[in-house]
Amino acid sequence: MKTAAGLLLVFFALFAPRASALAQPPAPASSTSPGSNLDPTAATAAYLASVPPAEKARSDAYFEGGYWLILWDFLAGAVVYLILLRTRLSSRMRDFAQRLTKRKPLQTWVYWMQYLVLTSIVFSPLSVYEGFFREHKYGLANQTFGPWMGDQMKGFLISLILGGLGLMLFYGVLRRASKSWWLWGSLTAILLLAVASLIAPIYIAPLFNKYKKLEDSRVKDPILSLARANGITVHDVYEVDASRQSKRVSANVSGFLGTERITLNDNLLNRCTLPEIDAVMGHEMGHYVLHHVYKGVLFFGVLIVIGFAAVRWAFDRIVASKGASWGVSDVGDVASLPLFILLISTYFFLLTPVTNSYIRTEEAEADLFGLNATRLPDGMAKVALKLGEYRKLDPGKLEEIVFFDHPSGRSRIAMAMRWKAENLK
The range of the structural domain enclosing residue 129 comes to 5-18+55-196+290-424
pLDDT digits (tens, 9 = 90+) for 261-303: 788 999 999 999 999 999 999 999 999 899 998 898 899 999 9
pLDDT 10s digits, 356-371: 999 999 999 999 999 9
Question: Does a structural domain hold residue 37?
Answer: no
Provide CB contacts within 8 A for 98, sequence distance 6+.
Answer: 107
How much is the average pLDDT of 231-249?
89
pLDDT band at 234 (very low <50, low <70, confident <90, very high): confident
Residue at which a domain ends, from 260, 286, 312:
286
Tell me, yes or no, whether 123 and 97 share the same domain.
yes
Are 179 and 251 in a shared domain?
no
Percentage of the chain modeled with pLDDT above 70: 90
Q: Is there a single domain that holds both residue 90 and residue 165?
A: yes
For residues 85 and 188, membership in a common domain is answered with yes
235 pLDDT band, cuts 50/70/90, is confident
Of 398 and 236, which is predicted with more confidence? 398
Residues 246 and 294 in one domain: no
Instruction: For the chain, give the percent of residues with pLDDT over 90.
Output: 77
Split at pLDDT 50, 70, 90, the class of 199 is: confident
Q: Are residues 135 and 67 in the same domain?
A: yes
Look up the CATH number of the domain holding residue 261: 3.30.2010.10
Number of domains in the chain: 2
Looking at the structure, tell me whether residues 119 and 11 fall in a common domain: yes
Residue 347 lies in a domain: yes
Among 286, 308, 326, the domain-final residue is: 286
- Of 286, 318, 342, the one marking the end of a domain is 286
Q: CA-to-CA distance for 204 and 196, rounded, in angstroms?
A: 9
Predicted confidence (pLDDT) at residue 376 exceeds the cutoff of 80: yes
Q: Are residues 234 and 320 in the same domain?
A: no
User: Looking at the structure, do residues 387 and 335 belong to the same domain, yes or no?
Assistant: yes
Q: Clarify whether residues 276 and 235 are in a common domain.
A: yes
